[in-house]
Structure 1
Amino acid sequence: MSDPQRERSGGESNPGEDPELDDLLDELETLEETVDDPEELEQVRETMRVARRVSTPSAFGRVIRGFDRHDAAEAAVGSVLIGVPMLAEGGTLEIGAHLATHPALLVATLFATVGLVVGVLYVAEIQQVEIYQPFFGVVPRRLVGVLTISFLSATLLMTGWGRIDWTTPWLALCQTTVTFVPMAVGAALGDILPGS
């Protein structure tokens, strides 16, 4: 379930930009609070989503929904653009070697990465990102797509450019994880900044 206050892209981020839209959304939010029937409630929410999409012409402030091939390509480009400097940086391998001897730090790094990506996609409100048809009813498709694409990009580039040696898989995984961190943030930004 999404919070209707956070879903508003026109009223809170750009107050007064479109007073008629603000009035319409206010009325729909009032209606949303009074509707008891689940089907009618979903119709009101869908009307709110459509109103936001139709009314926002710029790249910023759009409602972003779903995760398709176009989004995946944007995420891949964003991850590579941010990740390439990490591939050339020797510190990446040193940090990975440190994480290999401190598994708790590796786990913390992975959790922090997921947290950063969630923050970019859903909390920072750079764009209005809706959770659409989540896996198992809970896990957002966009989050899974961005994390998967960035980790695969990190693995392929680190392997292809000879930065890791898979004869020591644990060390290679830890070093790839270090590259994955900025690539995941780059993938999230690359995906949502164009506003598709």
Structure 2
Amino acid sequence: MSDAEGQSDIGADDDTAADADMGDLFDELEELEDIVDTPAEREQVRETMRAAMVASKATSPFGRVIRGYDRGDLAEALLGALLFGIPMAVEGGTQEVAVFLAAHTGALAGTFLFSVGLVVGIIYVADIQDVRVHQPLFGLIPRRLVGVVGVSLLTATLLLTGWGRVDWSAPYLAVANVVVAFVPMSIGAALGDLLPGS
């Protein structure tokens, strides 16, 4: 092979490498993990995945591969929910919207489902980060989705109750108030969870 041919091969490899990203690397490693034969080989692939994750975190807060869900992710979701939710807790307009939703069951259910859809879109569709579903609950439900929605819903309930913004003697209206506060809290929780890139 001539030097010119070797140079053109190297240039082609460089172009391919430029098109690849950490997500592609994780795809390849996950495929490799499925086909290796021994537990030692699988552990070696997992160690390589952990090293790649550490390397991706060192480069940029965006475009990282995010896998797993832990207490740190819950804390980030809680912070995001509070940042977006506290204004809703003190704003009188929250109660006005809740009164309307309490009178329109379909709108109340639609508002809740729309919020969950927004969370799914932010986490899994918007490509803010390369989020991988790791060990889903019941083999189907992503832990990150449950964590973000759960933190948002619990935070909305506790904040509105603790600050006397809802009266649980009228439970349907109280639920409507929680759902109204849940909308921005869920968006904040999803962004809070993803933007630090953990």
Q: Same fold (TM over 0.5)?
A: yes
CA separation in 2, counterparts of 1:19 and 1:47? Answer: 24
Give the structure 1 partner of residue 7 of structure 2. none
CA contact (8 A) 1:146 1:187 kept: yes
CA separation in 1, counterparts of 2:46 and 2:119? Answer: 26
Give the structure 1 partner of residue 5 of structure 2. none
CA contact (8 A) 1:21 1:55 kept: no
Q: CA deviation at 1:54?
A: 4.6
Matched, 1:145 2:138: no
Q: Which has the larger radius of gyration?
A: 2
Q: Normalized against structure 2, the TM-score is what?
A: 0.77
CA separation in 2, counterparts of 1:85 and 1:20? Answer: 43
Match of 1:174 among 173, 176, 196: 176
Matched, 1:109 2:111: yes
Q: CA deviation at 1:50?
A: 5.2
Q: Normalized against structure 1, the TM-score is what?
A: 0.77
Match of 1:98 among 97, 100, 105: 100
For the residue of structure 2 that corresponds to 1:98, the secondary structure is: helix
Give aligned pairs, total.
Answer: 174
CA separation in 2, counterparts of 1:84 and 1:178? Answer: 12
For the residue of structure 1 that corresponds to 2:112, the secondary structure is: helix
Q: Residue by residue, what CA displacement relative to the aligned partner does 1:111-161 show, whole Å, maximum 9, x if unpaired?
A: 101100001101001011110100111100000001011111000110111
Please list every run of 5 or more consecutive structure 1 residues that lacks an aligned counterpart in the other structure.
1-15
Alignment of 1:1-196 (within 5 A): 19=18, 25=24, 38-40=34-36, 53-56=53-56, 57=58, 58-196=60-198
For the residue of structure 2 that corresponds to 1:129, the secondary structure is: strand
